[in-house]
Amino acid sequence: MNIAFFETAAAERDEITKALVGNSVQFYDGVLTKENVASVASADVISIFINSEISADVVAALPATKFITTRSTGFDHIDIAAAKAKGIAVANVPAYGSHTVAEYAFALILSLSRKLFPARARIRDEKSFSIAGLEGFNLEGKTLGVLGTGRIGKNVITIAKAFGMNVIAYDAFHDDAFAEKAGFPYVDLPALLSQSDILTFHLPYNKGTHHVLNETNISLIKKGAYLVNTARGELIDTKALLVALTDGTIAGAGIDVMESERSLKAGVSSEIVSEDMTLATLPNVILTPHVAFYTQEAVAEINKTTIQNIVLFIGGTPQNIVS
């Protein structure tokens, strides 16, 4: 089999090659796009990450490919319908970051609640030990609004309960057994926005969740609440978020994913790119480059599952198929 890998770190390549011995494995720097898809015209299997946007045009330009495996849980960057119509199976890695991302969400929450970055800057930049303006707040007793109660959302709720927080959750699909065990109610979106001291996003991205927080409903947010997004940037209307962060509706935000992320990494300019980069200049925003998933343990699990996906597909017993 001819197997093409995109978006891999150099340190990962030897392990992948050894695990897929007997196949022709090629590694390509950067992302797979319609501009470079001709370079993998002979690939039977393609492995990508979230920054490779597999549009219908890219799918159409893959004459030999029968299997695409994304090294991510989300697969919104792949035109599943186009792949299915062409007989290309698509697989994902369903559960590599459920603890990893939940822990990072709380790293952002704690950094915001205790003003960690301004405190560090006070000493680094001002050489001052003054605590003026650095008063934080306890998480205990605060209400955490969790959007999305899949694997990651459930772990966030468990951590929040350990901090003594009150939890409310929003999800189109309720896990009532878990809610009863963990001790939280499901509420509708307006109630969650208006009652939460901190909002944290863990929804999958699809047409139904695009701009789930938008210019219409962002005004419902409890004034002075904080927001954390470690899921997908497209869940939030960036323009509306910028307004809310500057007018005091939202006191601060921890953002690990941006709406224009793929464009930024591809070097493409747009209005959304400009808005996302404006977020980085705001003093009440912590912006990080989509690293919530990025731990040694998560990367090892991603590679292990991806290799299994490929081996089992070649053997005729595919797993983790999403199309």
> What b/e sequence results for 198-217 when a residue is b if at least 16 CB atoms lie within 10 Å of its CB, and e otherwise?
bbbbbbebeeebebbbeeeb
SS (H, E, C) 102-157: HHHHHHHHHHHHCCHHHHHHHHHHHCCCCCCCCCCCCCCCCEEEEECCCHHHHHHH
> Annotated catalytic residue: which of 232, 234, 259, 275?
232
Q: How far is CA 92 from CA 99, 200, 322, in A?
A: 18, 24, 7
Entry field: residues in the chain: 323
Q: Return the H-helix or E-strand segment holding 38.
A: none
Question: Could you confirm whether 290 is annotated as catalytic?
Answer: yes
Burial of 224 (0-12, 13-18, 19+ CB in 10 A): exposed
Query: Helix crossing, 296-314 with 10-19: angle to 10°?
Result: 30
Could you tell me how far CA 273 lies from the centroid of its own chain? Answer: 17
| CA proximity to 104, closest of 297, 294, 302 | 294
For the chain, the maximum distance between any two Cα atoms, rounded to a whole number of angstroms, is 65
CB 117 within 8 A of CB 286: yes
Helix (H, G, I), strand (E, B) or coil at 282: coil
Question: Could you confirm whether 262 is annotated as catalytic?
Answer: no
> Annotated catalytic residue: which of 202, 261, 262, 275?
261
| CA proximity to 279, closest of 294, 295, 264 | 264
> Annotated catalytic residue: which of 99, 114, 210, 290?
290
Residues annotated as catalytic (active site), given as ranges:
232, 261, 290
